[in-house]
């Protein structure tokens, strides 16, 4: 039988998939922390572990994102389960959560709506950090809803309700103090959709119309019917969509319209406040 140590397995895998991915996959196979890999370089992998690791390396070489291979992704201060039914939570979306948390009081009830929740990353993080708030998470995909439900259960979130449906369709007559969304916003002909990890993610969660603004436009247009007086709308959008978003917000009479840069300095979230209920 082949005797392969942690250190040898990593050296071998690094050549094909790089050190970061190799470590994450081996941690997953061994169910161990990264520190374990560093402190036990001579530990021999069992035949089963070696086979599982080789299989994951092969799928990673084929392009499958690490998060789908390990079934989880860290977001904010949480670990969320993910699968092919949901977009993999991105670091830039933490900006949207930060901005939302700044608007939500800690000490009183506040109604929050997350549209197109996917894994529930945004809704669950907000619900956890603002336990007095009542968060509603909407998604059109039953498979995504199942992932979100599982995450909420794992993290013992009890101030979150899930609604299956398209955008506002199932929310007639309901109003919220804050609406957030990371909708699909990549332009339909963007070549990135056919490259790298994006190829494996649900296209319905990524791309929206020729210019990527179809869903953003729909949300901004309909949000005033679902916001309370002085309620806020915050949207994540593409690297070149900030001014188009601000214009759409202005067209719907939002005030305090503002865009915010992500850690890469790219305007990534825009929003505004609805001063008067329509």
- Residues in contact with ligand GLN by the rule CB under 6 A: 90, 182, 184-186, 198, 206
Minimum Å gap between C-beta 244 and ligand GLN is 15
- CA 166 to CA 43: how far, in whole Å? 50
Q: Nearer to ligand GLN by C-beta: 94 or 177?
A: 94
As measured in angstroms, the least distance from the Cβ of 268 to ligand GLN is 8
CA angle 63, 67, 69 (to 5 degrees): 65
CA angle 244, 248, 250 (to 5 degrees): 115
Provide the 3-class DSSP secondary structure of residue 146: helix
| Least separation in angstroms between CB 204 and ligand GLN | 10
Q: Which is nearer to ligand GLN, 116 or 177 (CB)?
A: 116
Give 230 or 239: the residue with its C-beta nearer to ligand GLN: 239
User: What is the C-alpha separation between 109 and 63, in angstroms, rounded?
Assistant: 44
Least Cα distance to 141 among 223, 204, 216, 188 occurs for 204
42 phi-psi bin (left φ>0, alpha ψ -120 to 50, beta other):
alpha
Closest CB to ligand GLN among 95 and 206? 206
In angstroms, give the least distance from the CB of 201 to ligand GLN: 8
């Amino acid at each position: 039988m082949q005797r392969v140590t942690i250190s040898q397995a990593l050296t071998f895998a690094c050549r094909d998939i790089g050190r970061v991915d190799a470590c994450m996959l081996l941690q997953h196979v061994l169910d161990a922390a990264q520190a374990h890999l560093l402190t036990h370089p001579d530990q021999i992998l069992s035949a089963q572990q070696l086979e599982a690791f080789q299989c994951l390396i092969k799928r990673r070489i084929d392009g499958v994102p690490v998060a789908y291979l390990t079934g989880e992704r860290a977001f904010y201060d949480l670990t969320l389960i993910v699968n092919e039914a949901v977009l993999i939570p991105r670091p830039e979306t933490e900006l949207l959560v930060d901005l939302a948390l700044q608007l939500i009081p800690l000490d009183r009830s506040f109604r929050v709506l997350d549209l197109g929740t996917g894994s529930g990353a945004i809704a669950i993080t907000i619900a956890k950090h603002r336990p007095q708030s009542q968060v509603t998470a909407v998604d059109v995909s039953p498979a995504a809803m199942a992932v979100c439900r599982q995450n909420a259960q794992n993290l013992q979130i009890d101030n979150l309700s899930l609604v299956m449906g398209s955008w506002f369709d199932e929310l007639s007559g309901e109003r919220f103090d804050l609406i957030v969304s990371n909708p699909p916003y990549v332009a339909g002909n963007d070549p990135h959709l056919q490259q790298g990890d994006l190829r494996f993610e649900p296209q319905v969660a990524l791309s929206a119309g020729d210019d990527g603004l179809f869903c953003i436009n729909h949300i901004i247009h309909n949000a005033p019917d679902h916001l309370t007086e002085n309620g806020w709308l915050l949207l994540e959008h593409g690297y070149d969509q900030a001014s188009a978003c601000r214009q759409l917000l202005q067209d719907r009479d939002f005030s305090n319209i503002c865009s915010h840069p992500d850690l890469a300095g790219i305007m990534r979230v825009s929003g505004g406040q609805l001063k008067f209920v329509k």
